[in-house]
A and B are shown apart, each in its own frame.
Chain A
Amino acid sequence: MYTEKVMDHFMNPRNVGEIPDADGVGEVGNPKCGDIMKMFIKVENDRIMDAKFLTFGCAAAIATSSMATELIKGKTLEEALEVTNKTVAEALDGLPPVKMHCSVLAEEALRAAINDYRRRKGLVTGDVAPNKIEVPDCKPDK
């Protein structure tokens, strides 16, 4: 059901991990399935020098996370903001229709990371995506 590119980015994801001294961190959850993605960016002169991600989700979520980080590296923030879930899905030669919503996760995490960077620089004010996530308990809560 997945394209070769999706399988490649899923099996060998690029840019996995955290950036400890990231300039911006975005974390979003997919309300449709409960999956979570966290994106880290390193910015110099308005340009994304490095990007990494952590994703709890399906194969499509992992592959789009990987592709999104690849697409934005080296781009200016303005250029990066033009990357949408469609761009990412197309770069992967498409996603099955039921999996399109997964690619939204990557777009939103990217926006949240850029937003976080701008907020830290005092460039924007207002609400930012929360940075704390709850870890579920191992025992059934009964």
Chain B
Amino acid sequence: MDNAATTSLKPEVLEAMMPYLTGKYGNASTLYLEGREAREAVEQARERTARALGAEPEEIYFTSGGTEADNWAIKGVAFARREKGNHIITSQIEHHAVLHPCEYLEKHGFRVTYLPVDSDGLVDPGDVSRAIEQDTVLVSIMFANNEIGTIEPVAEIARICREKGVLFHTDAVQAVGHVPVNVEKLGVDLLSLSAHKFHGPKGIGALYVRKGVRLDPFIHGGGQERNRRAGTENVAGIVGLGAAIELASSSLEERAARIAALRDKLIGGVLEKVPDVRLNGHRTMRLPGNAHFCFRFIEGESLLLNLDVKGVSASSGSACTSGSLEPSHVLLALGLPHEMAAGSLRLTLGDDNTQEDVDYVLEILPETVNKLRMMSPLYAARRG
């Protein structure tokens, strides 16, 4: 149950990719037959991606993943609009693929405001409005948080940014393929996505860039992606992204409803069966598959490993940082004390999960938590 870290490659997606990994090995920039085939496949994937997002194909740029899309959006806009200003606004709970580029820009003379969130992880659009200054060039607020699953009021923030003439980027890596994402309805200027979060291959993603938005290239080199993103196209990856996003969009609502029902059963069951637990993230404004808890008096890694031995893969903190000693920056931003943030568990459900999976977790989780609590000096102190 760690579908937020990555998802399985759907067989249909692999099938769509296979020809471009084997016989159809053409370079999409060449003019002979193989190259033209590759070019057509890339353009078809671009159309599929655009359709899924309510965008125009010319507004889709393929990247090496979510991380590159985030880096490009932030650094690309920052450097392109430098003469207008050097202020960027983001939130404290962004993925590191947004936070670290922002920190990098701070070293190069930019100012960054990291907005706080409430105890459910929500950014207040009013805070965004108040933080925008004369020299603000970009606001970047994630669509949905990868740890606690909270869905941010992105449409409202986008409206504020547009009114004030500031570009707005959203990291929708956790959202695309799981909840409806339409760039027109949202009113965003830039949006990042990553294929491996919706049953596509790893190492391929896209940045949506609204027509007319100026941004500097991030990868310099050849003239691919209309001179904006150099490098020979990852044709098979791009085809896989296109196939996966089309599949994910086709039955989005039903799939989301099924997974959300499992999630609610899981959340309800845990809150009922385990005392001293906190649900992290907003109760309703959250990703269909995300359940995230803090269990008091115990530590996340030991909980995770116990569950792993019993056949449940979960995460504590985020996949990229697990093994680090610091409690998650997201949980600390919610205002949780260090000890509580340490006892976190993220279970993320996907298409492959069933009712039985949820029942099994609800069966083993309470006893596992209890076993660890019986070892905890914090629990003993509280029992007196």
A125 to chain B, nearest CB (A): 26
- Chain A residues within an 8 Å CB radius of B119: 140, 142
Residues of chain B from 174 to 221 with CB closer than 8 A to chain A in the complex:
none
Please state if B338 and A54 are interface contacts (CB–CB under 8 Å).
no
Asked if A34 is an interface residue, CB under 8 A from chain B, the answer is: yes
Asked if A36 is an interface residue, CB under 8 A from chain B, the answer is: yes
Asked if B306 is an interface residue, CB under 8 A from chain A, the answer is: yes
Interface string of A122-134 (1 = CB under 8 A from B): 0000000000010
Asked if B354 is an interface residue, CB under 8 A from chain A, the answer is: no
- Chain A residues within an 8 Å CB radius of B378: 36, 56, 133, 135-136
In the assembled complex, the Cα of A7 lies from the Cα of B278 at a distance in Å of 28
Partner of A133, one of B325, B375, B381: B381
Closest 6 CB pairs of A and B: A140-B335, A142-B335, A54-B377, A136-B339, A58-B301, A38-B377
Please state if B336 and A56 are interface contacts (CB–CB under 8 Å).
no
Residues of chain A from 87 to 127 with CB closer than 8 A to chain B in the complex:
98
Residues of chain B from 302 to 348 with CB closer than 8 A to chain A in the complex:
302, 305-306, 309, 323, 325, 327, 334-340, 342
Q: Which B residue sits closest to A33, measured CB to CB?
A: B325
Please state if B276 and A36 are interface contacts (CB–CB under 8 Å).
no
Task: For the complex, count residues of B whose C-beta is within 8 A of A.
Answer: 32
Asked if B59 is an interface residue, CB under 8 A from chain A, the answer is: no
Asked if B380 is an interface residue, CB under 8 A from chain A, the answer is: yes
Known A98-B323, A136-B339, A142-B119; judge A10-B305 contact (CB<8 A): yes
**A residues at B contact (CB < 8 Å):** 2, 7, 10-11, 13, 16-18, 27, 32-38, 53-59, 61-62, 98, 133, 135-138, 140-142
- Chain A residues within an 8 Å CB radius of B335: 140-142
User: What are 27 A-B pairs with beta-carbon distances under 8 A?
Assistant: A7-B309, A10-B305, A11-B309, A13-B375, A32-B325, A33-B325, A33-B342, A34-B338, A35-B299, A38-B380, A53-B375, A54-B377, A55-B375, A56-B299, A56-B377, A58-B301, A58-B302, A59-B301, A59-B305, A133-B378, A135-B382, A136-B337, A136-B378, A137-B337, A138-B278, A138-B296, A140-B335
Partner of A62, one of B118, B375, B382: B375
**B residues at A contact (CB < 8 Å):** 118-119, 276, 278, 296-299, 301-302, 305-306, 309, 323, 325, 327, 334-340, 342, 374-378, 380-382
Please state if A59 and B302 are interface contacts (CB–CB under 8 Å).
yes
Q: Which A residue sits closest to B276, measured CB to CB?
A: A138
Q: Which B residue sits closest to A63, measured CB to CB?
A: B302
Partner of B380, one of A10, A54, A142: A54
B122 to chain A, nearest CB (A): 13
Please state if A36 and B377 are interface contacts (CB–CB under 8 Å).
yes
- Chain B residues within an 8 Å CB radius of A55: 375-377
In the assembled complex, the Cα of A10 lies from the Cα of B375 at a distance in Å of 11
Q: Which B residue sits closest to A18, measured CB to CB?
A: B380
- Chain A residues within an 8 Å CB radius of B340: 136-138
B168 to chain A, nearest CB (A): 27
In the assembled complex, the Cα of A35 lies from the Cα of B339 at a distance in Å of 8
B376 to chain A, nearest CB (A): 5
New contact pairs (9) apart from A11-B309, A56-B376, A56-B378, CB-CB < 8 Å: A7-B305, A10-B302, A34-B342, A35-B299, A36-B378, A54-B375, A54-B376, A54-B377, A142-B335
In the assembled complex, the Cα of A54 lies from the Cα of B305 at a distance in Å of 18
In the assembled complex, the Cα of A141 lies from the Cα of B305 at a distance in Å of 29
Please state if A58 and B377 are interface contacts (CB–CB under 8 Å).
no
- Chain A residues within an 8 Å CB radius of B334: 140
- Chain B residues within an 8 Å CB radius of A16: 374-375
B374 to chain A, nearest CB (A): 7
A102 to chain B, nearest CB (A): 9
In the assembled complex, the Cα of A121 lies from the Cα of B182 at a distance in Å of 73
A39 to chain B, nearest CB (A): 10
Q: Which B residue sits closest to A135, measured CB to CB?
A: B382
A2 to chain B, nearest CB (A): 8
- Chain B residues within an 8 Å CB radius of A10: 302, 305
- Chain B residues within an 8 Å CB radius of A2: 305
Q: Which A residue sits closest to B327, measured CB to CB?
A: A34
Please state if A135 and B342 are interface contacts (CB–CB under 8 Å).
no
A57 to chain B, nearest CB (A): 5
Q: Which A residue sits closest to B380, measured CB to CB?
A: A54
Known A38-B377, A133-B378; judge A57-B302 contact (CB<8 A): yes
